[in-house]
């Protein structure tokens, strides 16, 4: 197959096909001054974006309990509480026997114990409400100068999505 036929089949320009040939994105050999393109390699390249498309993350009672959530049901309400939100947000803590924080890191970077305590206080609790299918949270009393409450919440959601994807 030549570059013009390949471009028509793939729905791209001839220049794009030539670039794919030069970079090895599709199997092709140069015969004289023209590229001879392997049809199966081109078909794979055309379908590649469909193969690489990320799977949709589904929040459900089952998936959230699988990543460590605790199921709570009472008076017709069904919630899954995420008690390990600190790990999902990227907050790594170690404690003394007294319960005080001995060392802390936020997203891989060492932070002071005081700032770690403030990050812990910025979000009170995180839960999934099965009635409406949404993740919810309640702000706490404090806010760190390392990360705002909104940033911590975004990191929690990203951590939950990553944990569900890893299942």
| Segments of the chain scoring below 70 in pLDDT | 51-53
Q: Determine the pLDDT at residue 104.
A: 94
Tell me the three-class secondary structure of the chain, residue by residue: CCHHHHHHHHCCCHHHHHHHHHHCCCCEEEECCEEEECHHHHHHHHHHHHHHCCCCCCCCHHHHHHCCCEEEEECCEEEEECCCHHHHHCEEEEECCCCCEEEEEECCEEECHHHHHHHHHHEEEEEEECCCCEEEEEECCCCCCCCCHHHHHHHHHHHHHHHHHCC
What was the pLDDT predicted at 98? Answer: 95
What is the tens place of the pLDDT at every residue in 94-114? 999 999 999 999 998 999 999
pLDDT reported for residue 165: 86
Q: What is the pLDDT of residue 111?
A: 94
- pTM to 2 decimals? 0.67
């Amino acid at each position: 197959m030549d570059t013009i036929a390949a471009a028509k089949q793939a729905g791209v320009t001839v220049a794009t096909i030539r670039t794919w040939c030069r970079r090895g994105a599709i199997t092709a050999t140069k015969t004289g001054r023209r590229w001879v393109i392997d049809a199966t390699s081109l078909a794979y390249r055309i379908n590649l974006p469909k193969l690489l498309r990320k799977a949709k993350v589904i929040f459900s009672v089952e998936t959230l309990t699988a990543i460590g959530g605790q199921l709570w049901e009472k008076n017709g309400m069904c919630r899954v509480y995420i008690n390990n939100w600190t790990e999902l947000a990227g907050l790594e803590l170690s404690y003394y026997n007294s319960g005080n924080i001995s060392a802390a890191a936020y997203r891989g970077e060492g932070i002071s114990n005081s700032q770690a305590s403030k990050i812990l206080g910025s979000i009170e609790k995180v839960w999934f409400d099965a009635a409406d299918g949404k993740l919810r949270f309640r702000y706490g009393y404090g806010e760190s100068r390392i990360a705002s409450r909104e940033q911590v919440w975004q990191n929690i959601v990203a951590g939950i999505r990553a944990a569900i994807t890893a299942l």
